[in-house]
Structure 1
Amino acid sequence: MIWLRRGLKVLALLVVLGAVAWFAAQRALGPKVAVVLPARREVVQTVVSSGRVLSPAEVSLGSQLGGLVREVRAREGERVTAGQVLVELDDRELSTQVEQARAGVLVASTRVGQLRTVSARVAGESVRQAQANLRAAETTWERQRTLFRSGAIAAAELESAQRSVDVARSQLQSAQIASAGSSAGGGDARVAVAGRVQAEAALRVAEARLAQSRVVAPGAGVIMTRSVEPGDVVTPGRALLVLLRDGDTELSMTPDERNLADLRLGQRAVASAEAFPDRPFPAEVSYIAPTIDALRGTVEVKLRVPTPPPFLRPSMTVSVEVEVARHPNALSLPPDAVRDAATPSPWVMVVGDDGRTARRPVTLGLRGERVVEVASGLGERERVVPSSVGAAVRVGQRVRLRSAEAAR
């Protein structure tokens, strides 16, 4: 019985000593840790931000004239085309003014035609008649002068013949002046043409005012609001309709200003609406604001949507992921394998051939969603201890490898 008790005590002592020796050996060999291996793969760096769908141009439509509304041809939510008549005012008085202006153009045109035909012919005949009268008077004067020299007639008769020549010459000059005035370049013709131009201008003014009695769509779009009904009396400039014009669909996002150096015009992006997260659509950076929002530390970025999905609505919330860089064959690690990644001196913990950990400074490249590019400082066969093991492993500590997993 005594020997049995002594045997149990010895056995217990051996168990305790064995456990102590085992723990001491484990401590000397170091803890088991899982490591990751760098892997070459495509790394895509993106900038992710929330944003909204921008409304195309909203146009307030009104009349330049005041008056009674005769008809409203558009409803809220209705799609309209460019040039479509939306609102008509009472235009009876304006239509009468147009008819009067047209009559004025007709009268002025008739006056120009008369000068170019009848008056011109009459003036031409008057010139020819005056020329014939002058020739006859000059012939008579020549005959009277011959008779006077021979003493057959008195001096008074020769003077009378001279006066007839002077009168005929004066009549010819008057006829020529009248003919010149009625010609195409004459004063009467110029006055008549000016009258016609004035009448035509008055017609254009009357037609323009008549056109202003109709409110038309400046472009294709959708009527957002309607604040006028038939029978209303409107004043010039009052907004009657609001048109949401068709145009390029745009998104607006405000990423942190730290991303400004990575953003470029033309970069591709993928966006998704919060209401339809499973239906992403492509977009493209089309505008980067030249200034920064000092209060928020953000920059406004707009993106063009070349093929907008039908479910997009103005002011809808969207999530946008802009691809800013892509390296097809980059050495990469999981983000948790890089320590102090947000500082100027990132580093990784590697396991050397002697089984001890070491600090290895690295230079980072692109930073993707699941992996980080290691531009320099690390070999492809290095074994890296991720930071997820916590503070249990220190630099210079001996460790045992549990498994090695390639970066995914």
Structure 2
Amino acid sequence: MNYETRMNLESGTGTTAGEDPLEAERKRAGKRRLFLFIAIGLIAILAAGYVWNAMAGEEEEAPPEQTAAVTVVSPGAGTIEGMISATGTLAARREIPVGVVGEGGRVVSVPVEEGQWVRAGQVLAVIDRSVQNRQLESAAAQIEVAQSDANLAQANLDRALQLVDRGFISQADVDRLTATRDAAVARVKVARASYGELQARNARLNIVAPAAGLLLTRNVEPGQVVSGGSGVLFMIARGGEMELMAEVGEQELSRLSVGVPATVVPVGTDKVFEGQVWQIAPTIDAQNRQGTARVALPYAPELRPGGFATATIRSGTVTAPMLPESAIQSDDGSSYVLVVDGENRVRRRPVKLGMVTDNGIAISSGLDGTERVIVRAGAFVKEGEEVRPIVAKEG
């Protein structure tokens, strides 16, 4: 077949003889669009492949996830001297209340003052005894009368005995005179007993110190009328000995024993007094779960009964691991620590706390001291997590 081709000089393309030029142009435009779509598709495929390869390369080159660093310590086990801090009220170790012993009366004088040292038997208050003195004088006169009657009865008996041998007096008369003499002697004894009783009553009118010590309170003044119902007039600290009634928690009280030393600092002064626990309360207060440890103290002007003071009581020594407070954590009322095992993973370990000292907290149970305990950064890790332990530097 022969085809005639005519060249379009303006478009630079050829057309087949007999073909419509517009139709041919449309076909050429459709081919160009097809080639454009194919090119865009190839470009998109190449771009996607590039991005995929780039992401895969980044994943392969990304470093592995780093483990958390924690500070650990192996506490070991050491001897710890226990110290218990407590507060309480100062008081006289042995208080002696003094009141009216006799029948009482009007107070004439009070020759002592609070804070004064008194000796045993010293007069603290004098009560008027003008009436009692008259009674005593009367009793003394009764003794003289009774003694005179006894002397006369004895003389009559002596004369009668001289006349018996001569037969002038019968034996019956002698017996009667003897009985008279005996009755007169008995009346003398009764009079003397009455006189002694009055003397004792008069002596009891004076209020005296039953023992030596420091006079703490004086509740009577001259001119006051006192009796057996007047209550306590004086309070004496026997020997001037003082004590601190230290309030100690139930758990700490169980660690104390009689004789352990203690230091006491009264409020308002920085002076330290040495004492020792001499008595531990056998009961615990049901309200505050505390008991009383009584610390004996020697006399000092700074130790004023009724004052407030703090005490540091030595409660013996224990051997236990010691951890800083930052290593102890708690939840639901129980304490625990985080330890790092042989695979560098965090494990929770329940513990029981012991003494609290300036150097840390003793662990009474739960640790043997060889574990690696997390002391810092424990709040940022969880059980089972792998960590990188760093041993804490001493000091």
The reply to whether TM is greater than 0.5 is yes
Which residue identity is paired with 1:59? P
Give 1:57's match in structure 2, choosing from 90, 95, 104: 95
More helix by share: 1
TM-score normalized by the length of structure 1: 0.68
Q: Which has the higher contact order (CA 8 A, sep 6+)?
A: 1
- Any conservation in 1 of the 2:77–2:368 contact (CA below 8 Å)? no
Give 2:129's match in structure 1, choosing from 84, 91, 100: 91
Where structure 2 has 5 or more consecutive residues not aligned to the other structure, the ranges are: 1-53
Which residue matches 1:279? 272
- Any conservation in 2 of the 1:79–1:223 contact (CA below 8 Å)? no
CA–CA distance in 1 between the matches of 2:77 and 2:322?
6
Q: CA deviation at 1:313?
A: 0.8
Identity %: 25
CA–CA distance in 2 between the matches of 1:121 and 1:380?
105
Cα 1:274–1:77 shift into 2, 3 Å? closer
CA shift digits 1:231-275 (9 cap, x unpaired): x26253446943343353122233334445444444443322222
Which residue matches 2:161? 124
Q: Does 1:221 align with 2:259?
A: no
Cα 1:300–1:193 shift into 2, 3 Å? farther
Q: CA deviation at 1:222?
A: 1.9
Which residue identity is paired with 1:105? I
Which residue identity is paired with 2:74? L
Which residue matches 1:392? 380
Which residue matches 1:269? 262
- Any conservation in 1 of the 2:115–2:214 contact (CA below 8 Å)? no
Q: CA deviation at 1:227?
A: 4.1
CA–CA distance in 2 between the matches of 1:389 and 1:113?
109
Give 2:305's match in structure 1, choosing from 282, 303, 314: 314
Q: What is the root-mean-square deviation of aligned Cα atoms in Å? A: 3.6
Which residue matches 2:32? none
Which residue identity is paired with 1:282? G
Give 2:171's match in structure 1, choosing from 164, 168, 176: 176
Q: CA deviation at 1:341?
A: 9.3
CA–CA distance in 1 between the matches of 2:343 and 2:104?
94
Cα 1:360–1:269 shift into 2, 3 Å? same
Which residue identity is paired with 2:371? E
SS in 1 for 2:263: strand
Q: Which has the larger radius of gyration?
A: 2
Q: CA deviation at 1:34?
A: 1.4
Q: CA deviation at 1:325?
A: 3.9
SS in 2 for 1:121: helix
Which residue matches 1:255? 248
Give 1:188's match in structure 2, choosing from 180, 190, 193: 180
Give 1:199's match in structure 2, choosing from 181, 191, 196: 191
Which residue matches 2:146? 108
- Any conservation in 1 of the 2:346–2:383 contact (CA below 8 Å)? yes
Which residue matches 1:337? 327
Cα 1:32–1:333 shift into 2, 3 Å? same
CA–CA distance in 2 between the matches of 1:342 and 1:45?
27
Which residue matches 1:45? 82
Q: CA deviation at 1:302?
A: 3.9
CA–CA distance in 1 between the matches of 2:314 and 2:299?
19
Which residue matches 1:401? 389
- Any conservation in 2 of the 1:77–1:223 contact (CA below 8 Å)? yes
Which residue identity is paired with 1:318? A
Which residue identity is paired with 1:97? Q
Paired residues in the alignment total: 333
Q: Does 1:297 align with 2:288?
A: yes
SS in 2 for 1:397: coil
CA shift digits 1:90-142 (9 cap, x unpaired): 433422322332232234345445555x3443232232122xxxxxxxxxxxx
- Any conservation in 1 of the 2:244–2:294 contact (CA below 8 Å)? yes
Q: CA deviation at 1:69?
A: 4.3
Q: Does 1:211 align with 2:249?
A: no
Which residue identity is paired with 1:385? I
- Any conservation in 2 of the 1:287–1:301 contact (CA below 8 Å)? yes
Which residue matches 1:242? 234
SS in 2 for 1:200: helix
TM-score normalized by the length of structure 2: 0.70
